[in-house]
Structure 1
Amino acid sequence: MLNRTQAPDFKQVNHIEFIHPEKRVLANDVPVFTIFSGEQDLVRIEFLFNNVNWNPEKPLQAIAVNALLNNGTNKLSAKEIAEKIDFYGAFFQTEYNQDQSSVTLYTLNKHLHSVLPIVKDVLSESQFPQKELDIYIQNQKQKLQVNLQKNDVLSRKEFSNALFGDTAYGVDIQLKHYDAVRQEDLVEYFKNAYAPNNCTIVVSGKFDDKGFELLNKEFGQNWANGNAVKNSFSFQSPEKKTVYKEKAESLQSAIRIGQLSINRKHEDFAGLQILNTVLGGYFGSRLMTNIREDKGYTYGIGSGIVSLHNAGYFFIGTEVGADVCSDALNEIYKEIELLKTEVIGDEELSLVKNYMLGSMLGSLENVFSHADKFKNIYFSGLDYSYYENYISKVKSITADELLALANKYLNTENLTEIVVGKK
């Protein structure tokens, strides 16, 4: 009989297999990385473009261009693009993040020859019609006005600006920035950024030589290069900064605490991720156990280490009852100090190690997630030895090493603290 009162023994993950991509090159030197899986007649093609030509006077260029990319070309209207994509059962999306903008196509292989020309038209002939731009500006201004009433949004905006200033990582977007968006600026940015000399293609799924020939036919020729200068920023850790925005009517206060830190390229990154998991990186973390489960101050609290191209940062984020905000802050700093003064127990460390290895294994559920893991290392200038080292570090790190990392990277005197609500 199975004894359901007894938890099963931990079994540590010993090996994780990654699918490595095959690299090929289009006729115009655009690199194509293919992660093949022939189980389903489905393919995902990602066109990835570095965010470039940063202009602090026009901070919305990259964001607006990406959002409006499929809103009309010199051949097709926004409606026609959507109808044609839908007709073939395909899915087409654009996405912007702090370092890159992407265009992603999901389609059945048998329809590649029909949908790739549509994507090519979008990536080479987008026009950003003024009518569509006006609608976008109106909608985004309304959305921003709503978001500016939310304490958590305000805390994140203040936090990013405190760490990164008026760069693409930290610019404080305001209503006036939307009013300054011009169609001609978007066209100029589009021609420079969405060009073959600023493009990397990552394909995952069932993609054979015939598929590559179709891709090369559409994107390997008659696609003009742009004049792109990749965004590059340098940062220095700001002095401890405390920002308190009082909103007397608030029932909850938003808290954001953190500092500049290392990114994925640094040798300590894996160890710091383990330390972060202990602190606030999973549901059983110390912050959750203390501030949610024990004190009942919040529905959720977490911490993270974010790796960007030009920087990295550590953060703690939560929303707590306005009447317990000060107490919650004290408990957060208390948990940080405990990591710096007391070694982590064997049982807790073993639990975190198994959680992290299991999460890594579980995150590789399909070929698309293997492609995502590849992108993480490729655009950081790393190779698959990064994951080997990461797994090895998770298995072997000691409590004493984590204590040293806590004292090296969790300096409360340098933490930026943002509170929006009541304190």
Structure 2
Amino acid sequence: MLNRTLVPDSIQVNDIKFIAPQQQQLDNGIKVFTINAGKQDLVRIEFIFDNVNFDPAKPLQAVVVNHLINNGTATLSAKDIADKVDYYGAFLQTEYGADQSSIKLYTLNKHLKAVLPILKSILDESIFPQQELAIFIQNQKQSLQVSLEKNDFLARKNFAHAIFGDSSYGSNITFADYDALQQDDLLAYYHSAYKPENCTLFVAGKFEQPEFELLNTIFGQEWNNKAVSRKNKFVFPASPKGEILIERPGAIQSAIRMGAMAIKRTHPDFAGFQVLNCLLGGYFGSRLMANIREDKGYTYGIGSAVVSMKDAGYFFIATEVGADVCGSALNEIEKEIDILKTDLVPDAELDLVRNYMLGSMLGSLENAFSHADKFKNIFFSGLDYQYYEKYILIVKTIDANSLRLLANQYLNTADFTKVIVGKK
């Protein structure tokens, strides 16, 4: 009989294997990275485009084009696209990020020949119908109106704008920005961004030479958009220090978002900083959760994260607490940071975090799609698989003294931007 009162032994993950992609190139120069793995006749093809031509006066162009790109082409209506994709049991997904935008196709291999021309029409001849744009503007303005009543949304929005200004990382979107959207501007952005020169392909699943040749025929030989564009490049000053209080007298809860500009994935301290972040607020057993949620009962959840983007990295802590305990919660957050800066992390706690982080990484590599996602992280950061080797080694070997040094270097609360929405 299994004795469920006994805690199972904790064993550290020792070996994490990554599947490196095969690199190929279409006839028009598009790079194709393929993780050919899995037993099912299923493939995901992801077209990723760098965001370009950012204009602070028109901050919504990239996100709206990505959202509406499959809502009508010169030969297919939005309904035609949806019906045809659904008929073949495929799935189209668009995704916008601060640095790149993408469109993903999930399909069975046997339907690839039928579905790829639909995707080609979307990427080469979308027209952004005025009716679809009008519906989108109406819906998004209503959504924004609802979101502006939420303290956590306001905290996130004002924090991003405070440290990143009017870049694509921190644009302070308003109703006027939606009203200013024009079909001609979307078409101009679409042709500048969605072109072979600005595209990288990531394929995962069952994908052999016949599938590659089909992909090359449709997108390597028949897609020749050569519009001119300018890649986004942002330079940011140091994060503004101090507190931004947005008072809402009737608030029952206050939203807190605090942090500062930080290092990116390419920095040698990044892996160690990730371990430090995990200890502080990066998982359910973190110190912030133990103190602010479990001990004090101020919140249902609190967390911290280190985010790496192309032109910047940043660290933040976020939570919502009862308005009457907001000041106390802020004090407790700073107390936990101060402890990391003065006291050594106990071995047992550090071992738990090591096991959690290594187990999470191993668990995230469950299929060909997740292996492709791991490769994208390093590819767009200009890194190779040695990054993961060093990352795993640091997680396994970093000591308490090194973590204390990192805390003193990167967790200076006096330099944080602190946004509080509600009551303090």
Both structures adopt the same fold (TM-score exceeding 0.5): yes
Counterpart residue number, 1:226: 227
Match of residue 367 from structure 2: 366
What value does the CA root-mean-square deviation take over the aligned residues?
0.8
Deviations 1:184-215, CA, capped at 9 Å, x for gaps: 00000000000000000000000110100110
> What are structure 1's unaligned runs of at least 5 residues?
none
Question: Which residue is 1:321 aligned to?
Answer: 322
CA offset digits 1:242-262 (Å, max 9, x no partner): 110111111111000100000
Q: Which residue of 2 aligns with 1:97?
A: 97
One-letter code aligned to 2:240 = E
What secondary structure sits across from 1:120 in the alignment? helix
What is the SS of the residue equivalent to 1:274?
A: helix
Provide, for residues 339-377 of structure 1, a one-character-per-residue CA deviation record: whole Å limited to 9, x for no partner: 001010001001000110000000011111101000000
Q: Over residues 7-46 of structure 1, what are the superposed CA-to-partner deviations in whole Å (9 max), with x where a residue is unaligned?
A: 1221111110001000000000000000011410100000
- What is the SS of the residue equivalent to 2:300? strand
| Paired residue type of 2:193 | A
> Aligned residue for 2:54?
54
Distance in 2 (CA, whole Å) between partners of 1:365 and 1:115 is 26
Paired position in structure 1 for 2:137: 137
**Partner residue of 1:107?**
107
CA contact (8 A) 1:48 1:200 kept: yes
- Displacement, 1:235? 1.1
Q: Distance in 1 between matches of 2:240 and 2:358?
A: 36
SS at the partner of 1:238? coil
* Number of the residue aligned with 1:343: 344
Aligned twin of 1:278: 279
- Measured in 2, the distance between the counterparts of 1:89 and 1:130 equals 29
The question of whether the paired residues in 2 share the 8 Å contact of 1:162 and 1:241 is answered with no
Aligned match of 1:268: 269
Corresponding letter in the other structure for 2:403? L
For 2:209, the equivalent position in structure 1 comes to: 209
Question: Which secondary structure state, in structure 1, belongs to the residue aligned with residue 15 of structure 2?
Answer: coil
Residue by residue, what CA displacement relative to the aligned partner does 1:47-88 show, whole Å, maximum 9, x if unpaired?
A: 000000111110000011000000100100000000000000
SS in 1 for 2:27: coil
Counterpart residue identity of residue 96, structure 1:
Y
Shift of 1:228: 1.9
Q: What residue identity is the alignment partner of 1:333?
A: E
**8 A Cα contact 1:197 1:226, kept in partner:** no
CA distance in structure 1 between the aligned counterparts of 2:117 and 2:240, rounded to whole angstroms: 52
Q: Could you tell me how far 1:413 is from its partner in structure 2? A: 1.1
CA displacement at 1:227 relative to structure 2: 1.3
CA distance in 1, matches of 2:319, 2:70: 36
1:294-346: CA deviations, max 9, x gaps?
Answer: 00000000000000000000000000011111110100000011100101000
Q: Which amino acid aligns with 1:256?
A: R
Partner of 2:19: 19
Give runs of aligned pairs for residues 168-183 of structure 1, distance below 5 A: 168-183=168-183
Instruction: Tell me, yes or no, if structure 1 residue 254 matches structure 2 residue 252.
Output: no
**Greater CA deviation, 3-12 or 341-350?**
3-12
Amino acid at match of 1:61: Q
Aligned-pair CA distance for 1:236: 1.9
Q: Answer whether contact 1:263 1:307 (CA < 8 A) is retained.
A: yes
Q: CA deviation at 1:221?
A: 2.0
Q: Which residue of 2 aligns with 1:74?
A: 74
Answer yes or no: is the 8 Å Cα contact 2:272–2:398 preserved in 1: yes
Counterpart for residue 408 of structure 1: 409
Q: TM-score, normalised by structure 1?
A: 0.99
Q: CA deviation at 1:229?
A: 1.4
What secondary structure is seen at the aligned counterpart in 2 of 1:299? coil
How far apart in 2 are the matches of 1:47 and 1:239?
36
Given that residues 280 and 304 in structure 2 are in contact (C-alpha distance below 8 angstroms), is that contact kept between their aligned partners in structure 1? yes
| Corresponding residue SS for 1:136 | helix
Residue 84 of structure 1 corresponds to which residue in structure 2? 84
SS at match of 2:318: strand
Asked if structure 2 preserves the Cα contact closer than 8 Å seen for 1:261 and 1:311, the reply is: yes
Separation in 2, partners of 1:356, 1:38:
25
Instruction: Tell whether 2:290 aligns with 1:298.
Output: no
Percent of aligned pairs sharing the same letter: 63
Distance 1:17 1:148 in 2: 44
SS at match of 1:298: coil
Indicate yes or no: 2:95 matched with 1:125.
no
Alpha-carbon distance, 1:241 to partner: 2.6
Unaligned runs of 5+ in 2: none
Residue aligned with 2:246, SS: strand
Whole-angstrom CA distance in 1 between matches of 2:242 and 2:27: 51
Corresponding residue for 2:354?
Answer: 353
Question: Given that residues 277 and 285 in structure 1 are in contact (C-alpha distance below 8 angstroms), is that contact kept between their aligned partners in structure 2?
Answer: yes
CA distance in 2, matches of 1:167, 1:317: 22
Aligned AA (2:422):
G
Distance 2:359 2:237 in 1: 35
TM-score (norm 2): 0.99
Partner Cα distance (1:378, 1:416) in 2: 31
Partner of 1:391: 392
Retained in 1: the 8 A contact 2:162–2:240? no
Q: Is the contact made by 1:325 and 1:422 (CA closer than 8 Å) also made in structure 2?
A: yes
Distance in 1, matches of 2:114 and 2:11, equals 48
The aligned amino acid for 1:408 is Q
The residue type equivalent to 1:197 in the other structure is E
Stretch deviating more after TM superposition (239-248 or 181-190): 239-248
- In the alignment, the residues of structure 1 paired with residue 392 and residue 402 of structure 2 have an alpha-carbon distance, to the nearest angstrom, of 16
